[in-house]
Amino acid sequence: MSVTDLLPTLQKLSRADKFRLMEFLVAELAQEETDGLQSSQTYPVWSPYDAFEAADTMLKALEAQKSNDHAEC
């Protein structure tokens, strides 16, 4: 059954049932996001802490934009 087939039936649901359906779908999507993760495993997460090269690149880009903004005025 496709979403197009479901839409008329979904529109007939009560407000409370629509909220329950939304909760179900959000939970399903969240579960799909975490299915590949293992609770005993650690995963690296990038942080800007000590990312001095990235900060320097951003500062240069901001300064270049500022110079361009002043040149247009």
pLDDT in tens, 19-56: 999 999 999 999 998 888 888 888 888 888 889 998 89
Q: What backbone torsions phi and psi does residue 24 show, to the nearest 5 degrees?
A: -60, -45
Is 80 exceeded by the pLDDT of residue 71? Answer: no
Largest CA distance in the chain: 59
As a whole number of angstroms, the distance between CA 58 and CA 21 comes to 43
As a whole number of angstroms, the distance between CA 6 and CA 9 comes to 5
pLDDT at position 58, please? 93
pLDDT at position 73, please? 63
pLDDT in tens, 1-22: 899 999 999 999 999 999 999 9
pTM over cut 0.85: no
b/e map of 24-42 (b: 16 or more CB within 10 Å)?
eeeeeeeeeeeeeeeeeee
